[in-house]
Structure 1
Amino acid sequence: MKKRRNINTILVISIAFLFAFISLYAMIPPSPDKNADFVKNFSADRALHHLKNIANTAHPSGSIENEKVRNYLVEQLRVLGLKPEIEHSNHASLYPKMITGGDMYNVIAKLEGSGSGHAIMMSAHYDSVQQGPGASDDGAGVAALLETIRVLKSAPTLKNDIYFVFTDGEEQGLMGAKEFWTESKHKQKINMIINFEARGTSGPSIMFQTSKENGWIVREFAKAAPNPVTSSLLGSLFEIMPNDSDLTVSNENKIPGLNFAYGDGWTGYHTPNDNIQHLDIRSLEHQGRNALEMAKHFGQLDLSHTKQENAVYFNFFGLVISYSYYWVYPLTSFIVFLFAMVTIIAVKKNAATYKGFGISLLAIFSAIVASILATVLIWMGVNALWAEKMTLFSGAIYDSSLYQSAFLLLTVAVSLFIWKKFRSINTWEMTLAAIFLGVIFLLLLTQFLPGASYLFAWPLLASLLILGWVVWKDKTESIADQPLILTLMSCLPVVLFVPLLKLLFTFFPVSLAPYLMLLVVWLLALLFMHSKLLYQLGRWVPHTLVGMAIIVLAISFFQANPGSDRPIDSNLFYVVDQDKKQAKWVSLEPPDKWTEQYVTATNKSNIKEILPFNYDKEAWVGTALVRNYEMAKIKLVKTEKKQGKKFIHLRYLGGNDIQNMYVSVPGGRVQKVTIGKESFVIPKTMQTFYYKQTGIPKKGLDLILEIKGEKPVEFTFASEQHPDPEIRSKRPSRWISTGIFDESIFITDRVTY
């Protein structure tokens, strides 16, 4: 009997792992097909050729390298038979603490359709951060669109026009997208947008965000997407998290849209390692296939009515299941009713007791609290001992998957240990208690985050239907010995939760992973019949899991050594004060073994005291030799006094590869500013006026400030160029350029008007 039970246990657990494997396998991005007809199919190799020209080096907005990439785009679009145009303007935005502006150049090309009168916009940004070449963020998106155009040009003409828009200034605050949706002459023609992004160097191309009223667009996406990876939970989370992309701007303008990105390999994000060598070509292939199929599919559709009630959507064995929000409340209500009925019948037939139900709830809560507490404490210790030094400016950590795996192993072990202590609970009471908690989660999600409701709704519905049938047939005593029933109960929970946890582990920092153990404990409780079988294999099971977790953490410990293949943060930049004829080295990170030759641990300051930039951040400082750099040219056009105010008209003329200009005016005296054609009333809360300008228009940029009072006022200016040759050439390979200002050269000056 025991031998048969062990065989059943191994069979049931193996099938559950098989479900998990299949669901994760469906998320692996496709490899390029070397035998495919390149005329009709996307070619990652051809896209890679473009990428080598786009991501050869860092090309932030306002830089000479950015202009080179722009010229390459224009040249290639012409080679592809399109007529590219450049929309140029200076776009500025007022924020609570400062104003930012940018000299933006969006590249736009139209692939004409057969004349439906409708148009799609496909977009990616071609600027990078100054720390890295941006092969993934967002060179891969740009290259994928260029290759998509090649394939579309050789195919039959689509019904709808497609505008390919390569935006500038995304890394500076979505400036290119804001310029397009504010100023572009083409904006009124766009019926929907498809945007491509990245937050890493590998992984599947995930459709992670949509617009409001997405029912139609999600349904059509499901029909066309090759190897789709998506979840309405991600879309719901992205709405409430402080993250933006170019689609954020189109969403604000109520344009239907889809957003694609890949996010594995976070340690390469916004660093020099966001290069072609670290790019997984499968991710490029997946982005490209999505781009091509979206263009072909939506290019043939009637875009007159693209808005319908929001949809819940998710992956299921490589398919996309979707249904309207209208079904969320009825489905939730039915599950609540079904839970009440199954529980009442189970109690009447002595399969469970209300007392046992309460004890089971206590057992689940105990496991949740113990698992979260254990993993949080372990993470605090691990982080303090070795993980913190392997953490980058972005929050990414080397070996994050090892830490997450250790948390999972420990959570399973802790849950099994605790539940073994509750000897009086039975499988029915435990399962019903888990379903009760799931119903509570479902009710909350239905009300506040309906896009995530599917995660609990379908596993709960499947479990309740199976349990209801078992109770109805009076098979409550033998359910744990029925491999088929146990297999059916594990299918939906595993297939829905496992890939979702993988996505959350990908996009969330490791410090939040312990709190995701709540979901893991709940899943184990819902599948308590399986968990109990696992423990019945022997007491060695939880001990083995703990041992495996220790081994995994030990591996992470021995790998926690910075090197050229695993470089860590180092921040250093140069500031020369033309007024005082002084120069200094500055770092936003405590001195490391390399920067300690430039800055000292005891000499601290604040960025606000060093630069005219509203960034309240501690800085470490050291004395530097004064170099002969020229400040960007700033011309005083005129000053004028009237009605108790002073009007100062300046003109930025730029200089040699000046990427950013900064200015501050203290005392709360700036009341209004006009930047180019845009005017802003300065809020009283901005006691010190701060303005950052990315790139200077070749014809110059006019800046007119309205100052309260006629007394003289001091302006502090700073110009920024990049990179500093000494830092770039002397930094050892075990350290990497990350974080704001790194490798920059600042020239500051004060002028009183």
Structure 2
Amino acid sequence: MTLRILITGLLLCTIFGCKSEKNTPIHQMEMDSKSDALSNKTVPNGILEILQPEQRQLISILTGASKINEDQSLKRRRSEKEKLLARNVLDRMLQNIGLMAQEHPYRVNLPDYNSMSKHNPYTGTNLYAIIPSTVPSNEYIILGAHYDTVEESPGASDNATGCALVYGVSKLISGLENRKKNLIVVFFDQEETGHAGSFAFVNFAKEKAYNIHSVHTADQVGWDKDGDRNIELELPTDYLKSVYGKHAKPFGITVYTTDVTSSDHKEWREAGYNAVGITEEYKHGDTSPHWHEPTDTFETVDFDYLAFVTYLVYKVIEDQITL
């Protein structure tokens, strides 16, 4: 049995709330402020109020800007102890929106063509939860982000922002009254070491024989120095490129496509899935200069941009999950 580190429940209740508030229908929140939001490239006010407080708190704790409790804090998410602490925080947040998280421990050998295969085997732990469809369905959408960091970085941009996006979308999707597909939300381990966690989860999905509609992974979605709200899609299928383009068009932003393979989406595309990576302008010159550095801290995150990308991804998932 995996040793669990006890996190003080009272503090987490103070930070995140002990119960989810009753979900107000998302469409109702969007209606009044939708036109202004589209013209200003911003998130509707009701949605912003749902997203930002918890996204800020999550990133604050994952990066050590806030303590987990009086005795524990995270400076990075690299060691097994640090990653266990991070999973406990993520687990608690998912519980607060009514989701039961499960650990996916793995031991895998990366394929020979992966430059990190020389360090085989890899052992780690993914964390996932399922938001069930509201009607019988055997289809699944996967939304994921890695939670680990490199050795000397607190990993705010890379990739606490991706974790916060996944959490935010999960909270919004769980409030939908009509879900015709299931949504698997997953926090991958060991992206920084050969994408071992996502590689293992691909195998897990195959073993479970999940009928996967699409896979969306987020990595570094918290930097927008020029304020244009543009994003990049990494290795998108033509179908997902068109869906993201459709939902980005009303905001007047540019959605670039790139052939970047340096994150978790790569493992899904190579396995033949309808998948995409979502990121800031990594290849187009507007990305965090603090990547993999000790300076990748809470203070460097553009939380308005994070909320915007979260909302855009939500609109895409909402579209696909209600078809």
With the shorter chain as reference, the TM-score category is 0.7 to 0.9
Equivalent position of 2:267 in the other structure:
249
Q: By how many angstroms is 1:177 displaced?
A: 0.5
Mapped contact 1:145–1:291 kept (Cα < 8 A): no
2:57 corresponds to 1:37 = no
What does residue range 61-460 of structure 1 map to in structure 2 within 5 Å? 61-93=78-110, 94=112, 98-113=118-133, 114-184=135-205, 185-186=207-208, 188-198=210-220, 201-203=223-225, 204=229, 206-212=231-237, 214=238, 216-225=239-248, 227=251, 228-231=253-256, 234-235=257-258, 237-238=259-260, 243-262=261-280, 263=282, 264-301=286-323
Once residues 199 and 47 of structure 1 are traced to their aligned partners in structure 2, the CA distance between those partners, rounded to angstroms, is 12
Once residues 140 and 266 of structure 1 are traced to their aligned partners in structure 2, the CA distance between those partners, rounded to angstroms, is 12
Q: By how many angstroms is 1:134 displaced?
A: 0.9
Deviation string 1:406-439 (CA, Å, 9 cap, x unpaired) is: xxxxxxxxxxxxxxxxxxxxxxxxxxxxxxxxxx
Q: Residue 218 and residue 201 in structure 1: after superposition, are their counterparts in 2 closer, same or farther (change >3 A)?
A: closer
Once residues 224 and 246 of structure 2 are traced to their aligned partners in structure 1, the CA distance between those partners, rounded to angstroms, is 25
Secondary structure in 2 aligned to 1:162? strand
Mapped contact 2:221–2:306 kept (Cα < 8 A): no
Mapped contact 1:51–1:140 kept (Cα < 8 A): yes
Deviation string 1:83-133 (CA, Å, 9 cap, x unpaired) is: 211110122224578233322111110011122321100011111112111
Mapped contact 2:157–2:301 kept (Cα < 8 A): yes
Q: By how many angstroms is 1:200 displaced?
A: 7.2
Secondary structure in 1 aligned to 2:137? coil
**Bigger radius of gyration:** 1
Q: Residue 187 and residue 51 in structure 1: after superposition, are their counterparts in 2 closer, same or farther (change >3 A)?
A: farther
Q: Residue 200 and residue 156 in structure 1: after superposition, are their counterparts in 2 closer, same or farther (change >3 A)?
A: closer
Q: By how many angstroms is 1:223 displaced?
A: 2.5
| Structure with a larger share of its residues in helix | 1
Once residues 42 and 290 of structure 1 are traced to their aligned partners in structure 2, the CA distance between those partners, rounded to angstroms, is 15
Q: Residue 273 and residue 258 in structure 1: after superposition, are their counterparts in 2 closer, same or farther (change >3 A)?
A: same
Mapped contact 2:104–2:125 kept (Cα < 8 A): yes
Q: By how many angstroms is 1:265 displaced?
A: 4.4
Q: By how many angstroms is 1:211 displaced?
A: 3.9
Secondary structure in 2 aligned to 1:267? coil
Once residues 107 and 40 of structure 2 are traced to their aligned partners in structure 1, the CA distance between those partners, rounded to angstroms, is 39
Q: By how many angstroms is 1:285 displaced?
A: 1.5
Once residues 235 and 191 of structure 2 are traced to their aligned partners in structure 1, the CA distance between those partners, rounded to angstroms, is 18
Q: Residue 161 and residue 200 in structure 1: after superposition, are their counterparts in 2 closer, same or farther (change >3 A)?
A: closer
Once residues 132 and 174 of structure 1 are traced to their aligned partners in structure 2, the CA distance between those partners, rounded to angstroms, is 18
Mapped contact 2:104–2:128 kept (Cα < 8 A): yes
Consecutive unaligned residues of structure 2, counting only runs of 5 or more, are 1-38, 65-73
Equivalent position of 2:22 in the other structure:
none
Secondary structure in 2 aligned to 1:104? strand
Q: Residue 136 and residue 29 in structure 1: after superposition, are their counterparts in 2 closer, same or farther (change >3 A)?
A: farther
Mapped contact 1:158–1:300 kept (Cα < 8 A): yes
Deviation string 1:702-732 (CA, Å, 9 cap, x unpaired) is: xxxxxxxxxxxxxxxxxxxxxxxxxxxxxxx
Q: By how many angstroms is 1:137 displaced?
A: 1.0
Once residues 187 and 276 of structure 1 are traced to their aligned partners in structure 2, the CA distance between those partners, rounded to angstroms, is 39
What is the TM-score of this pair, normalised by structure 1?
A: 0.33
Q: Which amino acid aligns with 1:207?
A: E
Once residues 144 and 135 of structure 1 are traced to their aligned partners in structure 2, the CA distance between those partners, rounded to angstroms, is 12
Equivalent position of 1:54 in the other structure:
62
What does residue range 498-647 of structure 1 map to in structure 2 within 5 Å? none
Deviation string 1:46-70 (CA, Å, 9 cap, x unpaired) is: 3111211222244344431111001
Secondary structure in 2 aligned to 1:98? helix
Once residues 247 and 263 of structure 2 are traced to their aligned partners in structure 1, the CA distance between those partners, rounded to angstroms, is 23
Q: Residue 124 and residue 29 in structure 1: after superposition, are their counterparts in 2 closer, same or farther (change >3 A)?
A: farther
Q: Residue 131 and residue 205 in structure 1: after superposition, are their counterparts in 2 closer, same or farther (change >3 A)?
A: farther
Q: By how many angstroms is 1:32 displaced?
A: 5.6
Once residues 207 and 166 of structure 1 are traced to their aligned partners in structure 2, the CA distance between those partners, rounded to angstroms, is 21
Once residues 98 and 151 of structure 1 are traced to their aligned partners in structure 2, the CA distance between those partners, rounded to angstroms, is 41
Q: By how many angstroms is 1:29 displaced?
A: 9.4
Once residues 187 and 105 of structure 1 are traced to their aligned partners in structure 2, the CA distance between those partners, rounded to angstroms, is 20
Q: Which amino acid aligns with 2:156?
A: A
